[in-house]
Amino acid sequence: MLKRVFLIHGWGGHPNEGWRPWLKNELEKRGFKVFIPAMPDTDNPKMSAWVGHLTKTVGNPDGDCYLVGHSLGCIAILRYLETLKKREKVGGSVLVAGFSDGLGIEQIENFFEKPFDWDKIRSHCENFVAIHSDNDPYVSLEYGDIFKNKINAELIIRHDMKHFSGDDGVTELPIVLESLLKLSK
């Protein structure tokens, strides 16, 4: 079966920003089919639109389907996992600079109107990696601990990577590639 990877950008992001083009190229060299959807209305994100777009893009989730999110893209992935049917599963998820509350930012509060159903999320994905930076100006390290405790994520902390965005000069992110290759074995 062909392994599929979906790379989900964050708020204000786009498919060709930051490390996503590099990761897509590296994965395709290794035989993966890679999708980087442009999430709808990226400057004014709405959870229902983002989850609906991700649902349509993924189609039928299966054990050869892997999800990689950056920032708000991580939240879209978690909310998507909550919507899957009873026996639907994905092979794994890598969450880069993810968080579990609205960070006090009004424009993204609609993603957090209800608490996460962590049990349901785990029932659809058993393999998580959470990657955080020790100097992220937006997302504190406590969120990595939350993912470790709530969804049994492997927590990886990188030094001086800020928010892992193109604006931070991050155009390659080998730890995401390594994590995906490990998850997909």
Q: How many CB atoms lie within 10 A of CB 30?
A: 12
Residues in the chain: 185
Identify the pLDDT of residue 98. Answer: 98
Identify the pLDDT of residue 32. Answer: 98
Q: How many CB atoms lie within 10 A of CB 158?
A: 17
Identify the pLDDT of residue 180. Answer: 97
Domain edges within the chain: 4-183
Identify the pLDDT of residue 75. Answer: 98
| Residue whose C-alpha is closest to residue 98's, from 127, 70, 78 | 70
- CA–chain centroid gap for 72, Å, is 8
Cα–Cα dist 133/119, whole Å: 26
| Per-residue pLDDT tens over the stretch 84-105 | 999 999 999 999 999 999 999 9
Structure tokens at 21: 């083009």
| pTM score | 0.98
Identify the pLDDT of residue 183. Answer: 97
Select which of 9, 53, 70, 71 is catalytic.
71
Select which of 70, 124, 163, 184 is catalytic.
163
4-183 folds as: Rossmann fold (3.40.50)
Identify the pLDDT of residue 158. Answer: 97
Identify the pLDDT of residue 41. Answer: 97
Is 163 considered catalytic here?
yes
Is 136 considered catalytic here?
yes
SS (H, E, C) the chain: CCCEEEEECCCCCCCCCCCHHHHHHHHHHCCCEEECCCCCCCCCCCHHHHHHHHHHHHCCCCCCEEEEEECHHHHHHHHHHHHCCCCCCCCEEEEECCCCCCCCCHHHHHHHCCCCCHHHHHHHCCCEEEEEECCCCCCCCHHHHHHHHHHCCEEEEECCCCCCCHHHCCCCCHHHHHHHHHHCC
Identify the pLDDT of residue 65. Answer: 98
Identify the pLDDT of residue 108. Answer: 97
Select which of 9, 53, 93, 136 is catalytic.
136
Given a cut of 50, the residues of the chain with pLDDT beneath it are none
